Amino acid sequence: MNALLKDLAVPADSIHRERRARIAAAMASQGGGIAVLPTAPERQRNSDNDFPYRYDSHFHHLTGFAEPQSWLVLTSEGHSTLFCRAKDPEREIWDGFRLGPQAAPAVLGVDQAFPVEELDSRLPQLLADRQSLWFPFGVHADLLLRVEGWLAALRRRSREGLQVPSSQRDLNPLLDEMRLIKDEGELATMRRAAQISAGAHARAMRFCAARFRAGAASVLEYEIEAELLHEFRRHGAQSPAYQSIVAAGANACVLHYAAGDAPLRAGELCLIDAGCEFDGYASDVTRTFPADGRFTSAQRELYEIVLAAQKAAVAATRPGARQRDAHHAAVRVLAQGMLDCGLLDRQKAGDLDVVIEKAAYRQFYMHGTGHWIGRDVHDVGEYLSLDEAAVEDADGLGGKVVKKPSRILQPGMAVTLEPGLYVRPAEGVPERFWNIGIRIEDDAIVTPGGCELISRGVPVEPDEIEALMRG
Ligand code: GLY
Ligand code: MN
Ligand code: MN
């Protein structure tokens, strides 16, 4: 194998082969068939300039192959076919190395490979006489049209005795379920991603502290974003896992605020929600810290509430608990805190149970407390129980809904725990809290005994944040 090939391709280790065998077996246990799985398309940014390419997570999970224009075809007996870009010396001068179909079986462990240009001519024959055709529903915009085309081509050949698959099945649940429980290799990669991100947050805190110590009147959000990016890339992370949020002062009350050019001033809080993607796995970390290294009393009062809510969420994250338990635990602490500090008026809002039942806390806490995390920052995986019946539950808005209970946690699942408080100016809301936005977010792996917080390489305790910024 030449050096280029060795560097760029994923080794033909057994992990992707083993994952393909597990998906084949899952299809076989549900009647068998053949699966077709494309990677992600290249996306135009403007003119002849594309967004940075990112492969499809399901596709990469089964192949380890990062090139665009690739397709995996897998039978329930475990036979695999890859379609990929043909070698092209001219294009490789411009765009870089291509593995090519000839080398693909040895490098990727697939049984056979063809140029992607042959996809439409070969697919009808591959699908013939298979009862079910499996593909991911609702992900790839043009896939249904392609499928229709292959089936139509096969139908036109029916007098040759070729049978058209009679059912179409969603491949997503099989892959979602597999990806929900991470193996040791995946967990090691996620720990590394979280560690890099934590280091980037610590760097941002130190950067701000140093700038204010040196007499700066303000630090711009994009300057802080640049520090994060620098730290991600210098440790080998390929990119941010999502658009970095760096929010100065009141901007922290905009949940999906993107780092802009607003000045962060002494006395304000800075909320950073940023995580890197490392070797295909996301991290998702939020810290909120005082720009100049000292929390004001109002900031600290609210910060302590959010931190207590996160501790409650952590305690509720263990095998046997439900994924949603962390949210309920955090909401109880946040709602109690809102009553205690006067964000909510006890006379008007009622006691804790009423605040929760009527969802009055949503004025200051309007998002969930966590989500699956893995290859995607909001990772795949069913949130509701797979094998329990629907029951009546509160809808979080003062009413009732009938739905399945949330999923019971088990070791190897990975979640975020991310409570917050966001105080927009409003009548009846104490002015000293106006425009304070706080979120604390860590990534957690469910372990046999509870959970492991993998992003704690940057502190969350307010005294420890102040100490780090002083140092
Ligand atoms: N950064 C996205 C999220 O926290 O869910
Ligand atoms: Mn998150
Ligand atoms: Mn986040």
Active-site residue, from 148, 256, 351, 388: 256
- Is a pLDDT exceeding 80 seen at residue 353? yes
**Residue-range domain boundaries for the chain:** 3-179, 181-470
Residue nearest to atom 5 of ligand 1 (CA): 378
Q: What's the rounded mean pLDDT across residues 233-258?
A: 98
Q: What is the mean pLDDT of the chain?
A: 96
Q: What is the pLDDT confidence band of residue 12, given thresholds at 50, 70 and 90?
A: low
Half-sphere exposure of 394 (CA within 13 A, CB side): 12
Query: Judging by beta carbons within 10 Å of its beta carbon (0-12, 13-18, 19+), is residue 235 exposed, middle or buried?
Result: middle
The pLDDT, as a whole number, for residue 142 is 94
Whose CA is closest to 35, among 155, 113, 123?
A: 123
Q: What is the pLDDT of residues 36-56, one digit of tens each?
A: 999 999 999 999 999 999 999
Q: Output b/e per residue, 261-273; b: 16+ Cβ within 10 A.
A: ebebbbebbbbbb
Is the pLDDT at 6 greater than 80? The verdict is no
- Which helix (H) or strand (E) element contains residue 133? strand 132-135
State residue 442's pLDDT score. 99
Task: Tell me the best of 418, 439, 455 to mutate to test the pocket of ligand 1, counting ligand atoms within 8 Å of each CB and taking the most.
Answer: 418
pLDDT at 3: 41
User: What percentage of the chain reaches a pLDDT higher than 70?
Assistant: 97
Lowest-pLDDT range of 231-235, 271-275, 402-406, 441-445: 402-406
**Closest ligand 1 atom number to CA of residue 371:** 5
How does strand 400-403 pair with strand 391-394? Answer: antiparallel
- pTM beyond cutoff 0.85: yes
Catalytic residue among 48, 142, 160, 261: 48
| Predicted confidence (pLDDT) per residue in 327-340, tens digit | 999 999 999 999 99
How is the beta sheet containing 276-278 ordered, strand by strand?
239-240, 276-278, 281-282
Residue whose CA lies nearest to ligand 1 atom number 4: 284
Query: Residue 397: is its pLDDT beyond 90?
Result: no
Domain covering 3-179 assigned CATH 3.40.350.10 in the classification: yes
169-198 tens-digit pLDDT? 999 999 999 999 999 999 999 999 999 999
Write down the pLDDT at residue 130.
97
Task: Using the mean position of ligand 3's atoms as its centre, give its distance from the Cα of residue 417 in Å.
Answer: 9
**Minimal-distance CA residue to ligand 1 atom 3:** 284
Q: Residues 108-166: pLDDT tens digits?
A: 999 999 999 999 999 999 999 999 999 999 999 999 999 999 999 999 998 999 999 99
Active-site choice (284, 376, 442, 443): 284
pLDDT for res 11? 53
Q: Catalytic pick from 19, 179, 327, 371? A: 371
Task: Show the beta-strand stretches assigned E in 5-131.
Answer: 34-38, 44-46, 49-50, 71-75, 80-84, 112-115
Substitution candidate for ligand 1 out of 416, 422, 439, 442 with most atoms within 8 A of CB: 416
Decide if pLDDT at 9 tops 60: no
The answer to whether residue 273 is catalytic is yes
> In this predicted structure, what is the pLDDT of residue 394?
76
Cα 274 to ligand 3 centroid, rounded to whole Å: 6
Q: What is the CATH number of domain 181-470?
A: 3.90.230.10
